[in-house]
Every structure is written in C-alpha cells, then in structure tokens.
C-alpha cells in the first residue's frame, strides 16, 4: 500500500505504454505473418492445402 501511495500514475503510464507498445508490435507482426502466409499460399496452394488438410492429421 505504501508503494501505491507514492506515485501510482508513473507506474501505470509506463505499464500502459509498454502494453500498447507490445500490442502495436504484435499487430505489425500479425500483418507480416499474414503476408508471409498469403505469399506461401499464392505460390503453393495445392501443397499448403494438402499439408493443412491431410498431412497434419493422423487419420
């Protein structure tokens, strides 16, 4: 509690900045991953489908 009263705003601002900095990075990574996935699907549609629809399953 003593720590809380000292200056909670500073900690929360830093936490919010870190969180949203991380979320922005997550969002950009998500777009990059989607673009890579799209390019692979564009180049090898049959193989990708075979892999995700059959190869990955046991039966």
Partner 1 sequence: MGEKAKGLISPDWKQAIPGLIVCIIFAYLAMNFSHTLKVLHKDGVGWATFLYVSAQFKYVAILLLGGILIRNTVGVPKSWMRGIMAARPIIKPGIILLGVHYVWSDVIKVGGVGLLLTSIFIFGTAATVMVVSKKFGAPDGLGGIMAAGTGICGVSAIIATAPVVRSKPRDLAYAIGTILLFGTVMLFIFPYIGMALGLAQSQFGAWVALAILNTAQLIASAEWYGAGARDTAVLINAARIMFIPVIVLFSLWFYVIRGQAANAAGRGGDVAAADANNAPEVNIDKWQLFKDKFPVFIIGFFIFVGLNSANTGFFGGPDVEGSAFWAINNMYKWFFAVGFAGIGLMISIDDLKKAGGTAFAIGFGAALAKAVLGLIAVYLIGAELLTVVGG
> Is 44:51 a contact under the CB 8 Å cutoff?
no
Residue 39 C-beta: closest distance to partner 1, Å: 9
Which residues, other chains included, contact 41 with Cβ-Cβ below 8 Å and sequence gap of 6+?
48
Residues 1-40 that bind partner 1 (CB under 8 A): 1, 4, 8-9, 11-13, 15-17, 19-35, 37-38
> Is 48:40 a contact under the CB 8 Å cutoff?
yes
**What is the contact surface with partner 1 in residues (CB under 8 A)?**
1, 4, 8-9, 11-13, 15-17, 19-35, 37-38, 41-42, 44-46, 48-49, 52-53, 56-59
């Amino acid at each position: 509690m003593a720590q809380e009263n000292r200056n909670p705003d500073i900690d929360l601002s830093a936490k919010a900045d870190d969180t949203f900095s991380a979320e922005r990075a997550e969002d950009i990574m998500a777009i990059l991953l989607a673009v890579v996935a799209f390019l692979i699907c564009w180049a090898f549609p049959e193989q990708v489908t075979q892999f995700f629809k059959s190869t990955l399953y046991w039966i």
